Amino acid sequence: MKKKKYKEKYSNKTGKKPIKSKKVVNYNWIIKITSITFAISLTFSLLSESIIPNVNIFISLILILLFIGLGILFDIIGVSITVADPKTFNSMAAKNVRGAKLAVKLIKNAEKVSSFCNDVIGDICGIVSGSTSASIAVILSTKFNLNLMIVSLIITALVASMTIGGKAIGKSFAINKSDSIIFRFSSFLALFYKK
């Protein structure tokens, strides 16, 4: 019995434990995703910082809701990609259903796609909505002669709770309806995607 266990544990000829292969770090992907994050973050921040001070409070609130919604939407897509069943899309791709081949490609690259959706877009939207809420707090406190710290705390808490609550609901929806979400997303992307 002991001999059998020993053979299973030390299966190679040297009698040593098998060496586990180390995963290679993809530095090209890291550089690429960092550059994309920088560019998108710069664009979003520039838009929010240049638009918010020059528009009324109603449009500012719509913009902040847009950033929150965008973060939640991409979080849903990122979660759906990681849990989607590739078998469903393989059979659809065999029937030449539009977007199915792209869905298979997205699922095969789930790590990168979810990183882009959850980390890049999700985190950028979180940061930009935070800075936008600070700008709104300044506008409100100046316009209505309110305490800046109190207004800032209330708006920041509202933005954070809406973002986290929205993502919590979104994750549950993404897990239960992952195939449907990925099919719609890949069908939409297929309109712009060129092989």
Reported as a single tens digit per residue, the pLDDT across 117-153 is 998 898 888 888 888 888 888 888 888 899 999 999 9
Q: Is residue 175 part of a domain?
A: yes
Range of the domain at 53: 26-190
Residue 24, classified by CB atoms within 10 Å of its CB into exposed (0-12), middle (13-18) or buried (19+), is exposed
Residue 138's Cα: distance from chain center in Å?
29
- Helix 27-51 vs helix 122-143: crossing angle, to nearest 10: 20
Domain assignment of residue 12, yes or no: no
The CA distance from 98 to 53, in Å, is 43
In this prediction, residue 23 has a pLDDT band, given cuts at 50, 70 and 90, of low
Please indicate, yes or no, if residue 11 is contained in any of the structural domains.
Answer: no
In a domain, 10, yes or no: no
For residue 192, what is the DSSP state?
T
What integer pLDDT is reported at residue 32 of this predicted model? Answer: 86
Give me the number of domains the chain comprises: 1
What's the Rg (C-alpha) of the chain?
Answer: 23
Question: Would 84 be classed as within a structural domain?
Answer: yes
On whether residue 109 sits in a domain, the answer given is yes
Confidence of residue 15 (pLDDT cuts 50, 70, 90): low
Whether 8 is covered by a domain: the verdict is no
